[in-house]
Amino acid sequence: MFSISRLQEVMKGIPRGVFDAAVREHGTNKHSKGFRSWDQLTAMAFAQLSGASSLRVVEAAYNSQPAHHYHLGTGAIRRSTLADANRKRSPEPLVAVVQALMSQVNRSVRKQSARALYLLDSTSLTLKGRHFDAWTAASRNRCTQGMKLHVVYARDAASPVRQSLSMANVNDVTDAIGIPIESETTYVFDKGYCDYNWWASIDASQATFVTRFKNNAALVVDRARPIDADDKDTILADEIVRFAHKSPGGKRRNRYEAPLRRITVARPDKLTPLVLATNDLTTTATVIAQHYKDRWNIELFFKWMKQHLQIKRFFGCNENAVKTQVLCALIVYLLLSLYRKAHAKTASLWLLLAELRHALFQRAAVEQSTYRRCKERRLEVRNRQALLFT
């Protein structure tokens, strides 16, 4: 019986129509000389899934399984050819695949919950050295040199729903301003996204946000809200406030004129409490505090990506190669999430990756059939032996 390999089963989640249309639009197969964009994507996805440490390892491992290449729609790869493709080809088809996979996740989030909870943050990708300095040194800041991965993360789906890559000196809020705001949605972010006019646009879009006030925020208290007796140990204050100044200086104008809530939350492990800001005037203070606590999930997502996929050690040194590798890592993460859901796997995503990593070219259905026949044969032999002594 014929059965596809686990690698092919994972790759089936890629929206091939979207990918092929983007390839035609951007002409990435032009002058390909036999090594197409699909070959590049398959090889880079294999590199992420297998945990390969270099393109030389990718070449050796992938070419050791020639019987599976036909069904994957590819052939043998060469390290130099793959390196040239990563360096020269536009990553836009990969961006289209990432966006299509994230749209699937976003639709599932909307079906599961009437009000989605989105977490915003970014992580730095350090790119230093002789080959990186030529294009990253000019945009470095006091914290890092390299690039930033900006992500909007859906808490309920445990998956990103939007991504963008920028240089290290781009502020988080500068990237966030370009995010299309969805109504009936809650956005959670930290103080790095402090822009009162952007907050006003979120409020005008019938969405809510949870963040933190800066220490120097000039506020006027309208009234204090009552605190439940059960929450007094956690919620120190719940107040309706407004901004004191419409023109904070520097020829800027604060367009946020609606009331806000200032919730002060006790932190037993810290000397100072947490001061939250939100335009949600109806949800209880404890739920608002829990929303901000849930922001830790996106930090865990970044940690998972850096620990288990290749976005810290890069196979190429130019900007195009770095973007290609990061986008392929996001594609693999989304494919694993879809694979886990399709097969109703209860194990964590890391255990699923560990299982697949050592069985990418195995055919699960064939192995199960072989194991079942061997078990039946052993049972038949055991029954026949029992008849000899009766």
Count of CB atoms situated within 10 Å of the CB of 300 = 11
pLDDT at 84 over 90: yes
**Measured distance CA(187)–CA(179) in Å, rounded:** 11
pLDDT tens figures, 348-363:
999 999 999 988 988 7
Give the mean pLDDT of the chain.
Answer: 89
Residue-wise over 104-115: b if at least 16 C-beta within 10 A, else e? bbbebbbeeeee
Instruction: Please provide the size of the chain in residues.
Output: 390
- CB-based contact 192:171 (threshold 8 Å): yes
What is the percent of the chain where pLDDT is above 90?
69
The residue type at 228: D
- CB-based contact 183:207 (threshold 8 Å): yes
Q: Residue 1: its pLDDT value, please?
A: 44
What is the percent of the chain where pLDDT is above 70?
91
Nearest to 336 by CA among 305, 300, 368: 305
**Measured distance CA(158)–CA(12) in Å, rounded:** 21
pLDDT at 76 over 60: yes
Helices H, strands E: what count in the chain? Answer: 15, 9
pTM for the whole structure: 0.89
pLDDT at 34 over 90: no
pLDDT tens figures, 277-334:
999 999 999 999 999 999 999 999 999 999 999 999 999 999 999 999 999 999 999 9
Burial, 230: exposed, middle or buried (Cβ in 10 Å; 0-12, 13-18, 19+)? Answer: exposed
pLDDT at 63 over 70: yes
pLDDT tens figures, 176-205:
999 999 998 999 999 999 999 999 999 999
Listed range (141-150, 315-324, 331-340, 371-380) with the worst mean pLDDT: 371-380
Name the phi and psi angles at 136, rounded to 5. Answer: -110, -20
